[in-house]
Chains A and B, each alone.
Chain A
Amino acid sequence: MDKTVNHKAWFLVLPVLILVAFSAVIPLMTVVNYSVQDTFGQNEFFWAGLEWFEEMLASDRMWDALGRQLMFSGIILLIEVPLGIFVALNMPKSGFWASFCLVVMSLPLLIPWNVVGTIWQIFGRVDIGLLGYTLDLIGVDYNYTQDTFAAWVTIIVMDVWHWTSLVALLAYAGLKSIPDAYYQAAKIDQASRWKVFRFIELPKMMGVLMIAVLLRFMDSFMIYTEPFVVTGGGPGNATTLLSIDLVKMALGQFDLGPAAAFSIMYFLVILLISWVFYTVMTNLDKKGM
C-alpha cells in the first residue's frame, strides 16, 4: 500500500511512546546506571567504569551460561521447526477436525509457564509421574534431578511439547494461503511429493517460517520459568540458562553491578539477533512473500 507522508502521525504514536518509555526505557536506564557503579550498601554509589563488564567478560560463569543457552536454543530449533512443518503438512485442511486440531494444539500455548514446569515436573517423577514411572518400568535409568543428561532431555522434550504447536500453526497458515492452481500445475508437471514441498510449499511458507524461527529463538533465549520449575538450574549448574543465572545473580545474591553488566550484554546480543531477523523479514516482505 502507498503510504502518505504525514509527520502529524507522531501524535498517534505518542501514547505508545510514553507508555513504553515508562515501562522500558526508565528501567533500562537503571540497569545502565548500576552497571557502571559500585556500592557498599546504604545507597552509597561510586563510579566503577567498565569494571563490571571486564569482570563479567573474564569470568567463566557468563560464558558457560551462554554456551548452555546457545546449545538449548539450537537443539529446540532443530527439533521444533522440522517437526512443526511435518505436523502442519499432515493437518486436515478444513472442517470440524481442522478446528479440533487447532484448539487442542493451542492448548499448551495457553498454560501459564510455571504450570508447564509443574506438569513436567510431576510427569517425569519416577514415583508418581506417568513418564518417569513408565521409563522406570521398562528399565531406563531416568532421574532428572540428578542426571545431567536426563535433565536436558526433560527440558528439551518439555519445550518441544510446549512450543512445537506454534511453529505448526504458523506453517499451517502459510500452507493454507497457497492457491490450488499451484498444486494443479505441479500435478500437470508430474512433480513428486518432495518437489511439491521443495519448490511450492517451502518458498510460500518462508515468510511465516521466518517469524516462527524468530519467535522461537527469542523466547527460548530468554526462557526462565519452565526449566527453573523443573530442574532449578540443576543438577549443579547443568541447566542454568542465561535468565536463570541472571535472576540468581540479581535477585538472589543481589550483586547489582555484575548483574546489570550481564543484563546489558544479554540484551545487546538479543538486539543484534533481532535486527538480523527483522532485516531479513522486511526484505521478504518487499519481495511479496
Chain B
Amino acid sequence: MSDATAADTLPTQSARAARRVRVNKSALVMAAYLIFLMLPIYWLLNMSLKTNTEILNDFTLVPNQLTFANYATILTDPAWYMGYVNSLIYVVMNTVISLTVALPAAYAFSRYHFMGDKHLFFWLLTNRMAPPAVFALPFFQLYSSVGLFDTHIAVALAHCLFNVPLAVWILEGFMRGVPKEIDETAYIDGYSFGRFFVKIFMPLIASGIGVAAFFCFMFSWVELLLSRTLTTVDAKPIAAIMTRTQGASGIDWGVLAAAGILTIVPGALVIWFVRNYIAKGFALGRV
C-alpha cells in the first residue's frame, strides 16, 4: 500500500522538481534580460545624482555625495523646463489631431468596401515607413513658407505624417473585433451615425482608443529629427535643448543625465496604464 503511494508520488515530485528548475531557468533568463535593460538607465540615474567633480574624478557605483542640484537647475531655469512644456504641448496636440481624423477613417476601413480602399490603406502604411530624414528639408521649407515655423502646431502636424497612419491601423484592428450587428441594431433603433459613433461605438473600443493615443504620444515624444528641424526658440523640444549642456567649460554631465532621466518619466508613467494592451498596439491591433 505504502509502496504504491510512494510510487505514485515519486514521479509527481520529480515532475514538480523539474518544473521548478524550468521556472527558475526562465526567471534567470528574464532577470538577466531585465538587468541588461536597466543597467544603462541605472547608470544615468546614478550620474544625475552626482556632482560633476565626482563624475569626472571618482568612479563610484552609488553617489558619495547625494545631490539634487542637477534637477534643481533644470526645474528652476525656464530655458530648461520650457523644453518639457513645449514637448508636451505638441505631443498632446498631435495625439488629439491624429485621433480625431483617424477614428472615422478607421471605421470606414473596418466596415466598408469602397473604391480604392486597399490601395489607400497601403498608401497610409507607406507614410508610416517614410524616413523622416527625407522629409526634414521639405517640411522646413513648407512650414516656413506658410509662416508656421517654430510653432507647436507645425511639429504636431509634421508628426501626423507617421502617427495618423499608425492610429488608423491600430484603431482598425480594434474596430474589426466589434461585431457589425451592433451598428445595424443602433441604426434600426434610430440612432444617427454621429450619435451612434460617439455614444455607443467609442465606448466599445475605448481600450483601442487608449492604445492608439498611447502610441501617438510615444512616437511623437521620442522623435527628434523633425521637431528639431522645425523649431528654433519658441517651440524647441526638451530633447533638442539637451544639446545645450555642451558649454565652453566642457559638458555638464550631471545636468545632462538629470535631463535624460526627466524625459523617461512621462513615458514610464503612462506605460503603467496600457501595460496589458502594449503588445496588441504594437501588433497594430492584429493579435
Binding site for B on A (CB under 8 A): 1-10, 12-13, 15-17, 19-20, 22-24, 26-28, 30-31, 86-87, 89-92, 99, 101-115, 118-120, 122-123, 127-131, 133, 161, 165-166, 169-170, 172-174, 177, 207-208, 211-212, 215, 218, 221-222, 224-225, 242-244, 246-247, 250-251, 256, 259, 263, 266-267, 270-271, 274-275, 278, 285
A110 and B222 in contact, given A266-B134, A274-B126 (Cβ under 8 angstroms)? yes
Please, how many angstroms separate the alpha-carbon atoms of A89 and B26 in the complex? 8
Which residues does chain B contribute within 8 Å of A275, judged by CB atoms?
122
Q: Are B222 and A6 in contact (CB under 8 A)?
A: no
Q: Say whether A172 contacts B279, CB under 8 Å.
A: yes
- Can you add 11 more A-B contacts, CB < 8 Å, to A90-B33, A108-B41? A6-B113, A20-B165, A106-B278, A110-B221, A112-B221, A113-B222, A119-B43, A174-B287, A243-B131, A267-B130, A274-B122
Whether A107 and B271, one on each chain, are in contact in the complex, defined by CB atoms closer than 8 angstroms, is yes
Contact digits for B117-149, partner A, Cβ 8 Å, 1 yes 0 no: 100101011111111111111110110000000
Interface SS of chain B: helix, strand, loop or mixed? helix
Contact A222 B107 (CB under 8 A): no
Contacting chain A: which of B5-13, B65-73, B74-82, B97-105? B97-105
Query: B46 — nearest CB in chain A belongs to which residue?
Result: A130
A270 touches B29 (CB 8 A): no
B141 touches A16 (CB 8 A): no
Within the assembled complex, what's the spacing in Å between the Cα atoms of A127 and B59? Answer: 8
A122 to B165, CA, bound (A): 35
In the bound complex, do residue A118 and residue B256 qualify as a contact, i.e. CB atoms below 8 Å apart? Answer: yes
- Docked CA distance A242–B268 (Å): 31
Q: Which residues on B sit within 8 Å (CB–CB) of A6? A: 111-114
Residue from B30, B101, B131, B222 within 8 A of A221 (CB atoms): B131
Distance in Å: Cβ of A203 to nearest Cβ of chain B: 15
A19 to chain B, nearest CB (A): 5
| B222-272 interface with A by 8 A CB criterion | 222-225, 229, 238-240, 242, 253, 256-257, 260, 263-264, 267-268, 270-272
A13:B108 contact, CB within 8 angstroms: yes
- Docked pose: A109 CA to B279 CA in angstroms: 12
B88 on the interface (CB 8 Å rule)? Answer: no
A110 and B268: CB pair below 8 A?
yes
Contact A99 B275 (CB under 8 A): yes
Tell me whether B17 is interfacial, beta carbon within 8 Å.
no
Chain B residue with the shortest CB-CB distance to A273: B129
Q: Check B132–A224 contact: CB distance below 8 A.
A: yes
